[in-house]
Structure 1
Amino acid sequence: MNDILQEKKHQLLFEHTLEVILFFDEKGIICDCNQAAYKELGYDTIIGQVSIMDIFRRVFQKSRDGFRFLLKEEMNEVIETVAYRKNLTCYPVDLKISIQKDENFYLGFCSAVSIASKRAAMKDAKKAKVVVEKVNQVQNEFVANVTHELRTPVNGIMGLTNNLLETSMEPSQMESLRIIDRCCQNMIKIINNLLDFSKLEAGKFTIEEKEFSFRKFMDKAVEANLPAINEKGLKLIVSVSPDIPDNLIGDELRLTQILNNLLSNAVKFTNAGNIVIDVIKTYQENEDIELFFVIIDTGIGISEEEKDKLFKSFSQVDASITRRFGGTGLGLSIVKELVELMNGSVNVESEKGKGSTFSFTVRLKLKKEQQNQNMQSGSFVYKGLEKMSVDSSKYLFPIDSYHETDKIHQFGTEENKEVIQGAMEKLIICIEMDNWEKAEHFAGVVKSMISEEQKELRRSAFRLELTVRKEQHEKALEQYNALKEVLEPYLKNKE
């Protein structure tokens, strides 16, 4: 049945293609052809009557010897020539000839495509491209003008609202003004998204390279989302690896936009539980540094089938989500574009009803004096690898000096190996007993002990800690065994 269907397909393709197709024998006489050959060449009868030397006379020499000589060369490359019709008029074509033969079998094949048709198609394509570019230009100019015109009155409303909020009034009036202010802030976000989207579409978006403080950047990004976090009574956990230098070079504004978008989404779609932000360094060489951000929530989650829609423009996984939570569907598509402009990638893992994990990498640059530093001492970072919890309106984000004085942190020492081995033994017990709080503690200990080691080892420990946080029993066992396997050669060398 499949062979018959395949044969039918080939027959349809042969009969209905617009190019001239000819089969010929060892003498050059045409033994089969398609309908386009009759139509283009003007013959009533071709098979057995016409030679390809008559049609492509500029290619072949008149003698049979010349024909055979050229066929021996097989002419597999496409050549530009002319095809002669029955009435001796001709038209330009791209010609390709190939041959199938053995001792008892010979079949020649040639196809000729009208260059005039191809040129016309290319001309039409160029015209269409010009039209599309013009439409895009008009569209982008329109979006830029409209967003500017919208931003002006919205900023005016926000300014007047803030002035009124500083005056004395009834509680109900105060609440109404707060609602107006929140609505204006949401409107500004939508306007900014539309403007950014139009710039990205037009290819006019550029990434700046300026020096900034990474710790202050983290502070500001988290502080911007604290009111919504505290309003919902969520617990925020932030962990930043101590080996990340504070002074970096990159586009702080766009990095803030990426993190704010993912964090605000996590808050929006999480009604109870935790939100986790984890940042580690995954690469550093000369002036280049790569950071890996992870944002975990215990929100509504999405199914595997719905994930494909996430990073598409004007798309949300479900229309009911737009009605319930709002949004234009542009946020994540802008995140993806910005991350890629910063030489990174973005990924998502999610399970319906259990939450989501968004991760992304970005490439930044180091100041010259930091390029050979390993952040062993004197660097201001979030205290060690401890996680800072935020579950009240009072926000504290301690910053302390990180002094690496204890030998147990130096990878390769006996003290270091003993701590890792002990933590791994306790970790597996906690996983098997589903004691996730303590399991997370021991996973964090292991990760901190190998924070200066090779990328593969650090990533294994990092993945294990994330899995433990999500309380996934089977996956945690799997990640534990994977980490144990890469650690085993190192631990065996323990004297």
Structure 2
Amino acid sequence: IRGTIEELLKNVILSTNKYYALEFQKLKYSFLKLRHKDVELLKFNNELLLLCHNTLPDYTAAANALKTNSQQQLKDQYETNKAIRSYTIVAVILLMFVISLILFGFTRLAFEYEKRLTAAQEQIRHSLNFKNRIIGMISHEIRSPLNIISIYSKKIGASVKDLELKDTFKSIEFTTNSLLLLSNQILEYSKDENHKLTLKNKNFFLKTELNQIAASLTSLVESKGNKIALQLHLDSNHEVHSDSGKIHQLFYNIIGNANKFTENGLITVTIQQEDLSDYELNLKVVIEDNGVGISENDLDNIFESYYQGTVSGKVNDLGVGLGLNLCKEIIELFDGTIAVDSKEGSGTSVIFNLILSKV
């Protein structure tokens, strides 16, 4: 680089001006380009504003429609729920009314049944009172004839010489006295319907009493062609303190049952004694017959009151079915037990025991 300082400065200034002019041109071009983009942006913004202006009414209309639809749906749902609730309340009220009518009908029916039951109970009470009066009257009035029969039997038995006749009149006297005891018991029951069985003990000779019981029942069993065989296995004629009337009642019922179901047969009475102590003995009794027997099904119910079994149609004068039930109660008073062993067509065995006090 040659020249003067002025030339050098001039060249520097010219170069600088040229450079800045070029840069200014670039800057101007960029500004113009930027301005052009601003115009385009402004145009786009105007178009966007126009589009928003055109779209906003549709959006507002859609929002209002949606709001209206939602309110209508809520209103419809509210009306539906209200209707369901109303129908439910009406249905519940109707159901309660129907149930009330049913309960009223049942209550009225129960009241009618209660009235009938009360009337029936009153009728039963009157019938029982009448029955007790009749039984009491019969039991009371029958004692006098029985006493007369007993007195006459005793007098005639004392006057005759024939031993067989003497035994017959003794049996009549013994049976009459037993009937007197039974009539007294029936009279007590008729006075008090809640009367419970109790033992009325007295002193008597056991072997003598059993022989008299067997003798008194001989005529009964012979009426159907039967025979009675008494097998006594007693150590001695012990004097005991017990209820002879109920013992007679036991034998009369059980042997009477055997006689009902046996014809032209044999009734065997086996009695054994077991000493329990110096104060008590156990009297074991087995009464067997070779009659029609009892079915296995009837054996399960034989001690029930008024039960008569499947063979009842084969027997005349059967009774009311209280015999064995009453015997069971009496035996339990003696602290004993009773059992029945039988097979239909092969006879029956009744086994029981009594605990007696020695004197």
User: Scaled by the length of structure 2, what TM-score is found?
Assistant: 0.50
* Richer in helix (by share): 2
User: Scaled by the length of structure 1, what TM-score is found?
Assistant: 0.37
Greater CA radius of gyration, 1 or 2? 2
Q: RCO higher in 1 or 2 (8 Å CA, sep ≥ 6)?
A: 2
